[in-house]
Amino acid sequence: MQSVRSGDRWMLRLDENEDVLGAVTEFARREEIRAAALLGGIGQVRRATIGYWDGTQYRPRELSVPHEVLALSGSIAQADGAPSVHLHLTASGPDFEVVGGHLLGATVGALLELPVATFPGRTFGRPMSETLGLRRLDLEPGADV
């Protein structure tokens, strides 16, 4: 991965065969990013698993052929003392049809470009919501306690 910064903005370039969630999480850990938006990266994934939240769990779907990445959007928060990366993938296959969902896992294909916008001075949380049964972004974790 390459990563460059300009003010409160980063551009990441992930490389062939990198694990997307692992690489973004490691980036957040290394740069101590505690609050950020991930803004619509493009590129290609070699394979990916996406999920649809059915109210109880994520039902998975495997994408087993390379797909163009049309968007990889989400956020970086902190949960249990570590970076929590939440991404949704929009991707198109050989027939140009588009599939998408919650990103459960992905491996980079030819390349992946991912812009990141940080919120200096902020820490986002991602506590488990008992009501929803999933982790929910909390923009002011201190204020909620």
Please report whether residue 71 would count as binding a second copy according to CB under 8 A. yes
Give the count of residues interacting with a second copy (CB under 8 A). Answer: 66
* Cβ partners under 8 Å of residue 127, min gap 6: 79, 135, 136, 138, 141, 144
Q: Which of 69, 51, 67, 68 is nearest to 59 (CA)?
A: 51
Please report whether residue 9 would count as binding a second copy according to CB under 8 A. yes
Please report whether residue 34 would count as binding a second copy according to CB under 8 A. no
For residues 37-66, which are near a second copy according to CB under 8 A? Answer: 37, 39-42, 44, 50, 52-55, 59, 61, 66
Cα(143)–Cα(110) distance, integer angstroms: 43
- Asked if 64 contacts 91 with a C-beta cutoff of 8 angstroms, the reply is no
User: Tokens representing 36?
Assistant: 């950020």
Please report whether residue 101 would count as binding a second copy according to CB under 8 A. yes
- Which residues are paired to 31 by β-bridges? none
Please report whether residue 7 would count as binding a second copy according to CB under 8 A. yes
Instruction: List contacts with a second copy (CB under 8 A).
Output: 2-4, 6-9, 11, 13, 16, 35, 37, 39-42, 44, 50, 52-55, 59, 61, 66, 68-71, 73-75, 86-90, 92-94, 96-102, 109-111, 113, 115, 117-122, 124, 132, 134, 136-140
